Amino acid sequence: MYNHNFFHSISISKVEATLSATSFESCIEEAFELYFLFEKMAVMDDFKEKHMTKSSSTPDQNRVLDFLKSHTGTIEIARDGSLQRVLFAIRPTCGYLAPQSRDIVMMKVERQSQQLKVESLMEWVPRLKDEMVQNENL
């Protein structure tokens, strides 16, 4: 027999516990892209109040929005004299970065200019990705 209340028994912590390195492939990527679009449109008059509030959504939709929000990161990039907000999905593997590694990167990234800061950070990416994948496999 089909249980119509299936989604009511799902919690974010239960979903997160089953995520793997490849969990954010295919259709979930599309969900993130739609969420990013909604977030960008939220600056429009009344859009957020009409379409992205708990009261305007079903409980299942609220769970989806909570999940996407909790797995979304943002950065601001200065470009052509203005700040641009960039949204990105935080993949499950990112939870396996050791706090000590994060602290080392925070201390060692060059910060003399925006360009040098980005270049310095990008030099760390391969090492950090390798560590996260290795820690996840352990």
Residues 53 and 8 in one domain: yes
Separation CA 30–CA 64 (nearest Å): 13
Q: What is the model's pTM?
A: 0.62
68 C-beta neighbours (distance < 10 Å), count: 19
Number of domains within the chain: 2
Q: What percent of the chain has pLDDT over 90?
A: 23
Residues 81 and 129 in one domain: no
Could you tell me the residue range of the domain that residue 36 belongs to? Answer: 1-90
**Lowest-confidence segment of 15-19, 43-47, 67-71 by average pLDDT:** 15-19
